[in-house]
């Protein structure tokens, strides 16, 4: 927001040096470097700060790769990269969390035990991925720091804690780290995590389950598990194969219970989206589906989740949170276009109360994305430009006067350009 008069702020986080397949990486959390204009690295044993940049950022897994802008002499001296653990933590395993939390400047090491391993929502991203819950405190500044097992291997990276609870923190497991790094090696950027692309409902209720099975022509006692496919994202690869009211029976050969879980480890179960999260976008996974009294097997593709800001669902207006929560696009290039604010001017007097409103149409045409809106404004030949917002509110501005006022508003608020859009492919 170039018109903001708020002062610049700084933040500190932790990072970890890793070696995977004989390649050295420097990893931290994505939320620690999100929107950063300047990054500096400092070793705990050195006052020298070195400039760094983000090499790759994964918003949904909250991980980022860093590299030095210029190789600083001696920076890597005495730094021994950690190796990633090949095993996923088990309950009651003891771990040590290293980092630089608030309260001091020297490195801090806390110890705790693993209390839970399951799918958890990642606050920085949209979806849920595997996470390790521990009882060691994770405070601001710990983000990006490693968690070590008894052999000194990195079992995960600290990234968030549970609010309004004591000593409940979460680690990004080594399994997720390895997926992130292997994707970067394979494609030179962020590869992402698979997503099943449909909404589902448990069939724990006996009456509902029997009704759904009868609707699909199956015997009530014939099948012991499965969940109901209730909605499919129009742009998801699953849309070509699945249908609403299908019953998903198994995925990747693992039977799905009526509660939506599959076998995980000995004596443990986990939500079935864990299977798709282990794959990359547009990989395929074999699914067993009940439809019209027939049980069929199909290969369903995945697509990636998208990033939204921290705590967006808690703080945003309903009109903006609703498409985020549903996570459904009506067409491939659809974007939610938002009127964030109206700058004060003689032309906009009486309109400055409009803030954070979704823009639906411009001159009667549905706005597909921000690039499309720019094209509609550039080619407008009518004397008045009409904007249709959510809640049926409208804004009307005289076309030529609006264009002239735009130039004045830019100068007044020290904004160098009216737009900064990517070049269309």
Nearest to 201 by CA among 234, 237, 248, 236: 248
Tell the CATH superfamily of the 198-301 domain: PDZ domain (2.30.42.10)
Annotated active-site positions, please? 31, 62, 143
Q: Where are the domains of the chain?
A: 12-191, 198-301, 333-412
Predicted local distance difference test score (pLDDT) of residue 306: 42
Q: CA 30 from chain center: how many Å?
A: 10
Contact 178, 184 (CB under 8 A): no
Print burial letters for 143-167: b (CB count within 10 Å at least 16), e (below 16): bbbbbbbeeebbbbbbbbbeeeeee
Tens-level pLDDT at each residue, the chain (425 residues): 556 666 778 889 999 999 988 889 999 999 999 888 889 998 887 888 889 999 999 988 999 999 998 877 778 888 899 999 999 999 999 999 999 998 788 888 999 999 999 999 888 876 789 999 999 878 889 999 999 999 999 999 999 888 777 788 999 999 999 999 999 998 888 888 888 888 899 998 888 888 888 887 776 555 678 999 998 888 788 888 889 989 999 999 999 999 999 999 888 999 999 999 998 887 888 999 998 877 777 666 655 544 344 445 555 565 555 665 555 667 778 888 989 889 889 999 888 888 888 899 999 999 999 999 999 999 999 999 999 998 888 899 999 999 999 999 998 888 888 888 876 55
Residue 28 near residue 55, CB atoms below 8 Å: no
Q: What is the DSSP string of 60-94?
A: TTTEEEEEESS--TTTTTT--PEEBPSS---TT-E
Strand locations in 73-181, DSSP E?
A: 82-83, 94-99, 108-121, 128-134, 146-148, 154-161, 169-173
Q: What is the CATH code for 333-412? A: 3.20.190.20
12-191: what fold? Answer: Thrombin, subunit H (2.40.10)
């Amino acid at each position: 927001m170039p018109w903001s008069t708020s002062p610049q702020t700084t933040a500190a986080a932790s990072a970890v040096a890793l070696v995977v397949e004989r390649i050295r990486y420097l990893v931290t959390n994505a939320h620690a470097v999100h929107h950063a204009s300047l990054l500096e690295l400092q070793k705990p044993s050195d006052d020298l700060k070195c400039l760094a940049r983000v090499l790759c950022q994964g918003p949904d897994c909250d991980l980022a790769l860093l590299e030095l802008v210029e190789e600083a002499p001696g920076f890597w001296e005495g730094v021994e990269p950690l190796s990633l653990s090949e095993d996923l933590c088990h309950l009651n395993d003891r771990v040590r969390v290293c980092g630089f939390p608030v309260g001091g400047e020297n490195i801090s090491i806390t110890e705790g035990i693993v209390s839970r391993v399951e799918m958890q929502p990642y606050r920085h991203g949209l979806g849920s991925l595997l996470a390790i819950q521990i009882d060691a405190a994770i405070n601001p500044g710990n983000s990006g720091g490693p968690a070590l097992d008894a052999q000194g291997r990195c079992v995960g990276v600290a990234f968030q804690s549970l609010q309004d609870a004591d000593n409940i923190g979460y680690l990004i497991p080594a399994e997720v780290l390895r997926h992130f790094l292997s994707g970067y090696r394979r494609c030179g950027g962020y590869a992402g995590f698979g997503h099943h692309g449909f909404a589902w409902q448990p069939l724990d209720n006996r009456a509902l389950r029997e009704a759904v099975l009868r609707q699909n022509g199956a015997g009530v006692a014939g099948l012991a598990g499965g969940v109901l496919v209730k909605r499919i994202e129009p742009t998801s690869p699953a849309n070509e194969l699945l249908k609403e009211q299908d019953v998903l029976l198994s995925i990747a050969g693992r039977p799905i219970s009526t509660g939506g879980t599959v076998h995980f480890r000995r004596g443990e179960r986990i939500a079935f989206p864990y299977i798709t999260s282990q794959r990359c976008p547009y990989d395929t996974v074999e699914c067993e589906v009940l439809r019209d009294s027939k049980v069929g097997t199909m290969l369903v593709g995945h697509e990636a989740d998208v990033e939204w800001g921290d705590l967006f669902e808690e703080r945003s207006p309903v009109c903006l949170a609703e498409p985020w929560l549903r996570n459904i696009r009506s067409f491939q290039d659809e974007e939610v276009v938002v009127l964030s604010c109206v700058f004060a001017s003689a032309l906009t007097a009486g309109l400055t109360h409009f803030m954070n409103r979704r823009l639906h149409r411009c001159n009667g045409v549905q706005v597909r994305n921000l690039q499309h809106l720019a094209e509609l404004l550039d080619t407008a030949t009518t004397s008045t430009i009409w904007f249709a917002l959510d809640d049926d509110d409208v804004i009307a501005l005289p076309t030529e006067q609006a264009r002239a006022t735009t130039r004045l508003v830019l100068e007044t608020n020290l904004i160098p350009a009216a737009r900064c859009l990517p070049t269309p492919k």
